[in-house]
Amino acid sequence: MSVYLDTSDIEQIKILSDLLPIAGVTTNPTIVAKSGVKMLNLLPRIRDALDGDGLIFGQVISTNADDIVAEALKLNQMVDNFIVKIPVNMQGVKAIKRLKNEGVTTLGTAIYTSQQAFFAALAGASFVAPYINRIDMLTGNAIETVESISNLLSHHAQTCQILGASFKNTKQVIDCLSIRQASVTIPVALVHQMMENPCVNEAIDQFNQDWLDCFGSLSH
């Protein structure tokens, strides 16, 4: 079980990777476009923000297998511990299979169905990323889909990991993490929602006040 940040916000990557056990950072073309910085310059900044640790995921924009492979090989040279994200359709699975033979680690993304995940894993993807909220909006059964993927992987591709993505609320995150083999990548705003609870601060204030009332200062 691992938690990744789904962002290109360099300052938040620095802050949250210092505070929390973050395994790395995921991006996609939309996230990169929002940063206004192309991958060639963005990926090294993310690597520095992670202090050289963790995995970095970046996605191809090519759409046919030959171009996907060429782009993936180029991206794979930009930073260490890089995982190439490839949308899972016919051309994507073909590219994943070829990249496996090239020794390039891949993640099958844009997963809406268990059969997509199955073929991506069988082709050699090390990760598959089901789109939790998007599946929920289409069918309302995202967690059941992740459970089905988990069962398929346990039988047919034990080395492939689930990396849940596309979350809109904290319940979706926790429900996904409750499934075997599942890790998650979370937007920065949701990370803060998960960890910032006013009740905790109220409890700390009460503990400190009780200590002050008894001992006169916050010291041992």
pLDDT in tens, 169-198: 999 999 999 998 899 999 999 999 999 889
List residues bridging with 107 in a β-sheet. Answer: 85, 127
Dihedral pair phi/psi, residue 181, rounded to 5°: 75, 5
Q: What pLDDT score does 88 carry?
A: 99
The average pLDDT across 63-88 equals 98
Q: What pLDDT score does 162 carry?
A: 98
The average pLDDT across 144-168 equals 97
Average pLDDT of the residues of the chain: 97
The pLDDT confidence band at residue 64, using thresholds 50, 70 and 90, is very high
Give the integer Cα–Cα distance in Å for 211 and 103: 58
Q: How many CB atoms lie within 10 A of CB 146?
A: 26
Q: Would you state the structure tokens that stand for residue 113, as one six-digit string?
A: 């169905």
Q: 60, exposed or middle or buried, with CB in 10 Å at 0-12, 13-18, 19+?
A: buried
The average pLDDT across 118-124 equals 98
7: helix, coil or strand?
A: coil
Write out pLDDT tens, residues 45-56: 999 999 999 999
Structural domains of the chain, with CATH? 3-215 (3.20.20.70)
The average pLDDT across 86-103 equals 98
The verdict on whether 97 is a catalytic residue reads no
Give the integer Cα–Cα distance in Å for 112 and 100: 22
Q: What pLDDT score does 181 carry?
A: 83
How many residues comprise the chain? 220
Answer whether 124's CB lies under 8 Å from 157's CB: no
Q: What pLDDT score does 1 carry?
A: 87
The pLDDT confidence band at residue 31, using thresholds 50, 70 and 90, is very high
Q: What pLDDT score does 180 carry?
A: 85
Q: Would you state the structure tokens that stand for residue 181, as one six-digit string?
A: 């083999």
Over 90: is that where the pLDDT of 126 sits?
yes
In the chain, where does DSSP find H-type helix? 10-19, 29-35, 39-49, 65-75, 90-101, 114-123, 132-139, 142-156, 170-177, 188-195, 198-215
4: helix, coil or strand?
A: strand
Answer whether 17's CB lies under 8 Å from 50's CB: yes
Q: What pLDDT score does 175 carry?
A: 97
Largest pairwise CA distance in the chain: 72
The average pLDDT across 89-118 equals 98
Q: Would you state the structure tokens that stand for residue 206, as one six-digit string?
A: 């009460």
Q: What pLDDT score does 27 carry?
A: 98
Give the integer Cα–Cα distance in Å for 76 and 93: 18
Q: Given 34, 38, 85, 168, which residue is catalytic?
A: 85
